[in-house]
Amino acid sequence: MDPAKYRDVKVQRGLIYHYYYSPPAAGKPTLLFIHGFPSTSFDWHRQVAYFEPKGYGLIVPDTIGYGGTSKPQEYEAFRFKLQAQDLIDVLDAENPATVIGIGHDWGSAVLSNIAHWHQDRFAGFVWTALSYLPPRTEEFVLEIAWQTMRKLVGSDIYGYWELFNQPDGHVICEKNIDSFLQLAYPINPEVWRDDFTDVGKAKAWIESNRQPGHGPWLTEEEYKTMREALLKGGLQSPMNFYKAAIANVNVQDHRDLPAENWQVKKPALFVAATRDYVCRAVLGRANMQKYAPHAEIFELDTGHWVQLEATEEYNAALEQWIEKTPTARL
């Protein structure tokens, strides 16, 4: 991704957002790509390489806590309603006519909140790995979530949140950065099933500095770029995504949300990863069927990093969906 195509904008609440921008050709929509943890806009570089030559507009931000974007240390700054407004402010800086929102991981959670508060601004939505998430109006209790997930899918799923919620969680991960990254971007998806999702296992992996290698779908140059970006920016601010969720900073906003805003009315696509042991495809399908029953669901036999593990298939699925969805085109 050409560094010269990055821009900076100060959003209404005073934070600086750093984002990649490429204007659309005539007749093409603009794609807003929203990354997750532990990532930067670079996570979408293969999509940029595919869609930019075809004339699609691109807005690819470093989300709050990452890259060249502001890195607040207080978790209250990570309220989803605030993040959604931030990205609307980024859009306002470029004012594209037609926008499709595309999210992955925590980016999918942010995209869900964009759909809650700003749905009319978008022509369509694409959720990747993590599906649309309905508003949470009841308090989240991590220990109860573990129990619930054990009953539903047989593992804690949120087990690693315990480490990320610790005051020194970022220190542990930064000290053993390669072990952390090789757990985050694993050599095979089943590493998450065996060593990530259950309570205590992620911390044990990272503190023992295990390094079996990263996913084979990452080149050494890509891995180096990701590593350098995380070390430069640090993990303290990004881990506030988890702290904010555990602290229930979004509950009141979601209680105030009108009931009609819970449903996705615009065209939607969910790209599910059948070997993702955190963002379980079965749970994602259930959410889409309840809140966006018209959505298309496309499954890929990958782990969590769909856009990297199955780049060609993912890009083709996105393009085909956009081109056959009239309201998602100019």
| Average pLDDT score over the chain | 96
Could you give phi then psi for residue 282, rounded to 5 degrees?
Answer: -65, -40
- pLDDT at position 178: 98
pTM value is 0.96
Cα 279 from Cα 158, distance rounded (Å): 10
- pLDDT at position 261: 95
Question: Cα 199 vs. chain centroid, distance in angstroms?
Answer: 22
C-beta pairs of 7-10 under 8 Å, 24+ apart in sequence: 7/93, 8/68, 9/89, 9/90, 9/93
* Assigned domain for 271 exists: yes
* Assigned domain for 208 exists: yes
- Lowest mean pLDDT across 153-157, 165-169, 185-189: 153-157
Domain holding 60, by residue range, is: 3-324
* C-alpha dihedral sign at 276, 281, 284, 288: positive
* Assigned domain for 168 exists: yes
* Assigned domain for 329 exists: no
- No. of helices (H) and no. of strands (E), the chain: 15, 8
- Lowest mean pLDDT across 8-12, 26-30, 40-44, 303-307: 26-30
* Assigned domain for 310 exists: yes
Contact between 78 and 248 under an 8 Å Cβ cutoff? The reply is no
Whether the per-residue pLDDT at 329 is higher than 70: the answer is: no
* Assigned domain for 56 exists: yes
N-term to C-term CA, the chain: 25
Whether the per-residue pLDDT at 326 is higher than 80: the answer is: no
* Assigned domain for 150 exists: yes
Q: How confident is the model at residue 133 (pLDDT cuts 50, 70, 90)?
A: very high
- pLDDT at position 327: 66
pLDDT in tens, 63-110: 999 999 999 999 999 999 999 999 999 999 999 999 999 999 999 999
Whether the per-residue pLDDT at 167 is higher than 90: the answer is: yes
309, with CB counted inside 10 A (0-12, 13-18, 19+), is buried
Number of separate domains in the chain: 1
Q: What percent of the chain has pLDDT over 70?
A: 99
CATH number at residue 306: 3.40.50.1820
Contact between 140 and 297 under an 8 Å Cβ cutoff? The reply is no
Whether the per-residue pLDDT at 330 is higher than 60: the answer is: no
* Assigned domain for 60 exists: yes
Mean pLDDT of 216-240: 96
Whether the per-residue pLDDT at 328 is higher than 70: the answer is: no
For the residues of 171-230, what is the DSSP string, one character each?
HHHHHTHHHHHHHHSBSSTHHHHHHTSSTTHHHHHHHTT----B-TTS-HHHHHHHHHHH
Question: Cα 29 vs. chain centroid, distance in angstroms?
Answer: 21
- pLDDT at position 325: 84
pLDDT in tens, 101-111: 999 999 999 99
